[in-house]
Chain A
Amino acid sequence: MKLDSKIPAGPLKDKWTNHKNHLKLVAPNNRPKIDIIVVGTGLAGASAAASLGEMGYNVKAFCFQDSPRRAHSIAAQGGINAAKNYQNDGDSVYRLFYDTIKGGDYRAREANVHRLAEVSGNIIDQCVAQGVPFAREYGGMLDNRSFGGTQVQRTFYAAGQTGQQLLLGAYSALSRQIGLGRVKMYNRHEMLDLVKVDGKARGIIARNLITGEIERHSAHAVVIASGGYGNVYFLSTNAMGSNVTAAWKVHKQGALFANPCFVQIHPTCIPVHGTNQSKLTLMSESLRNSGRIWVPKKKEDAEAIRAGKLKPTQIAEEDRDYFLERRYPAFGNLVPRDVASRAAKERCDAGFGIEANDTNEGVYLDFSTEIQNKGRQAAYAKGNHNPTPEEITKLGKAWLEEKYGNLFTMYQKITDENPYETPMKIYPAVHYTMGGVWVDYNLQSTIPGCFVAGEANFSDHGANRLGASALMQGLADGYFVLPYTISNYLADEIRTGKISTDAPEFAEAESRVKDAISKFLNNNGSKSVDHFHKRLGLIMWNKVGMARNEEGLKQAIQEIAQLKEEFYNEVYVPGSADELNPELDKAMRVADFIELGQLMAMDALQRKESCGGHFREEYQDAEGETLRDDVNFKFVGAWEYKGSDISKAELHKEELVYEEIKIAARNYK
């Protein structure tokens, strides 16, 4: 199979404009004759469904939650990037493009990323027009802050709830179309298969999660916007229901799955507390604007802290190791996520971790310096040029509360510790998946008519995503890319007419789904779905996690294959098929996670280099920095499904071409 990325010719900065000018259109009077299915209602799905509905297509949107407003984009905290240069710090489309390519460790497509940077400003305009209440300055203008991997302030935000506000904006646009009858919404529905007719995506099989009914839905094109696959690790910052099933079913029907081993481990999450833990909670990267990350310099101090004999506030300034500031003075605490995560792991592996859990894995995120700085500034701003230490501390804490209040409260509720008084304890956790379904420049997968948007595709973040770029990509895909590219495809469908769900392909897909369900319900095993999911998660975290090596990956591949067999033999799924049955929903999802997990390990094994979130221990320099291999691995690794034995999957390579940017070692020092 030859992978054609369909990147338009011409100078980089003109590609998207020229491409748009030459894409085919569907006239307004023809659009109501065309059906489009959108799976997922996060930023990418909701914005796509709303925009396509506005254009006049018949849209059917699906989400597994009880309302489209609950999709996990809602939990994004820190912000959204846009090259507006409102802060006059030298930002531009080119710089956002460059930072994103570099941040992704030179494993993303130039043309896609440039397009993303080009439309970033429109996203902010669109959201403000919808009534999204971004943070503002006293003059009434929009405020910005910094994020990791950049030296400008281009991040727009709404306290620590930016994802919520953007998603509710997209949800309001979607709600308007539902109210107008342009979009039909299917809540509490899960897509369980893709239906292809004559090689084209023509519909889906979905299960009504309340009644258990298996439904056939047809369309002229299918958009998958079902999010990432971080829950393959069981513990992650994803929502409990986030799953890979829609994307995986598309893969099994012939769409290639690209770079599955590129996973982002986010540096600032609340550490694991015990064996019953169900998920991990992120503390926004924006906190690294104000917090300094450290561990004790002396091992005995770390030990005393873990034993509860010493408090972090008792460690003198000179006995603290601000390891990010030490190793990366130019970017300091604002290095990209992969770099910050590995540095924390390095310190904890060396015995300096401060959390009293099984693995001692935790470092401090300390706000005391910022409290002093901002408190002093606030006192001066009030005309008090001789503030007492108490006044400074009080004003400094008030400043922190305004910027990060909800995050500090969230932290306190979970840990029972007050982060205004004592540093936060944090540790890296699985957060975002850069890999996903392979798509061309038009966001179309290798199945004609099957488009993939947002985190579910692989396209824009290379081997590591920069903070505040996921929201940007989700909305770029849904608002400003798909509406153009999908119309180009649909221009050839105006004479097709309604797609019948009586076609044999629908019947076949439906029986595949029904068979899988009945197999689980009649299995008569003895172990819960979670039992297997947790075991999968442990294999993935230990062997396909923050640091990987050949031996571990080979073991992981074996162990996952074995786990798969055990899962099908021994899993117990209670209840019946014709009712609300959350255990059945989970079983269907975990079955797909197991297969994906094996593919991730295979992908990590073949990629004999370290880049971005993919760190192979064999490929590092003397200082523990990643060693990329641009001669042999400057490609997108896209896997073709070859049957239920995942080890038979076939790798295809899309060579990456850098015309504009000179590829270089990533340096944040």
Chain B
Amino acid sequence: MSAAKNINITLKIWRQKNAKAKGSMETYKLDNVSTASSFLEMLDQLNEQLINEKKEPVAFDHDCREGICGMCSLYINGRAHGPDSGITTCQLHMRMFNDGDTIYIEPWRSKAFPVVKDLVVDRSAFDRIQQAGGFVSVNTSGNTIDANSIPVPKDDADKAFMAAACIGCGACVATCKNGSAMLFVGAKVSQYALLPQGKVEATQRVLNMVRQMDEEGFGNCTNTGACEIECPKGISLENIARMNREYLKASLK
């Protein structure tokens, strides 16, 4: 482990008062940032400095700060979740940067994710896609069958889990030149398609979720694979292929 040190940086941050306002990049100097800090702790430090100067702090989304809630976002130096792979912004650490660096921070940019304020965007379109079909229609009941009565091949269970590991952060959409949500939707469709419990409603599910995805204004997939590269959870493109197969099967019924 390299010992922590302090660095001085320049930040160029997107500031936008609200959804209707016109935004712009603003410049801030920030000194004595520990390289052991996380990227969001660096932003905390900036906000503390702004508050002490009686200026408006930068709004950004964050919550768990351990890479699982999917609330944090940020386009950092032109990359979703910044210059490291397999992590969310909250897991990015300042040791990835050098003294004197200028760092550009922007919100997710996509038609379906309008900016709310500064770096905060509205991702409720993902919720609506889930509401259209991302579930098994089983009510709460003390009488569901025993959990072990339907064996599930380990390989299918593992693949379903890997698809279900999606945190819904939206990096796939933000990084796609088409603003496509196919990795997100493909992952959810795949999780259920791979499990016996999900097969009953497979036809309706894929049709409804894809319809909602299109209504929300997400773009189409042109197989550039950028989403897979920037996905903090390593969701595979195979999920898009599986969704396309499911969609084709459903359309032919």
Contact = CB atoms under 8 A, between A and B. Distances in A.
Given A410-B91, A483-B140, A572-B51, 10 more contacts: A69-B127, A74-B68, A84-B148, A122-B142, A124-B147, A129-B197, A136-B157, A141-B151, A274-B36, A410-B67
A126 to B, nearest CB: 5
A549 B59 CA distance: 41
The 4 residue pairs across chains A and B that have the minimum distance between CB atoms? A140-B151, A179-B131, A172-B135, A133-B161
A35 B168 CA distance: 30
Interface stretch (A341-349, A371-379, A577-585): A577-585
B250 interface: no
B161 A165 contact: yes
Interface string A121-137: 11011111111011111
Interface string B14-43: 000110000000000000001011101100
B191 interface: yes
Interface stretch (A414-422, A591-599, A620-628): A414-422
Interface in A144-192: 158-159, 161, 163-165, 168, 171-173, 175-176, 178-179, 185, 187
A178 B131 contact: yes
B2 interface: yes
Interface in B1-21: 1-2, 4, 17-18
B142 A179 contact: no
Given A129-B144, A176-B137, A580-B59, A276 B37 contact: yes
Taking chain B's interface residues, is the majority helix, strand, or loop, or is none over half, making it mixed?
Answer: loop
B219 to A, nearest CB: 21
A175 B37 contact: no
Contacts of A51: 139-140
B61 A66 contact: yes
B195 interface: yes
11 contacts: A67-B123, A124-B147, A127-B147, A140-B151, A240-B62, A278-B38, A410-B67, A413-B84, A483-B140, A580-B18, A582-B57
Contact of B44 (A210, A273, A278, A409): A278
A70 B69 contact: yes
A66 B123 contact: yes
Nearest to A528: B51
Interface stretch (B97-105, B114-122, B221-229): B114-122
A50 interface: yes
Contacts of A161: 68, 165
A75 B192 contact: no
Interface of A: 47, 50-51, 54, 65-72, 74-75, 84, 86, 119, 121-122, 124-131, 133-142, 158-159, 161, 163-165, 168, 171-173, 175-176, 178-179, 185, 187, 210, 239-241, 273-274, 276-279, 281-282, 409-410, 413-417, 479-480, 483, 526, 528, 530, 572, 574-575, 579-580, 582-583
B147 A130 contact: no
Contacts of A582: 57, 59
B148 A130 contact: no
A533 to B, nearest CB: 12
A129 B145 contact: yes
Contact of B116 (A172, A176, A210, A414): A210
A423 B62 CA distance: 30
Nearest to B51: A528
A70 B4 contact: no
Question: What class of interface size applies to chain B in its complex with A?
Answer: 35 or more
B70 interface: yes
Nearest to A211: B18
B54 interface: yes
Nearest to A143: B154
B160 interface: yes
A240 B61 CA distance: 10
B233 to A, nearest CB: 9
Contacts of B144: 122, 125-126, 128-129
B61 A164 contact: no
Contacts of B87: 413
A483 B141 CA distance: 11
A417 B1 contact: yes
A172 B54 contact: no
Nearest to A185: B127
Contacts of B165: 161, 164
A146 to B, nearest CB: 19
A239 B69 CA distance: 9
B93 A414 contact: yes
Contacts of B84: 413
Contact of B135 (A130, A210, A239, A273): A130
B126 interface: yes
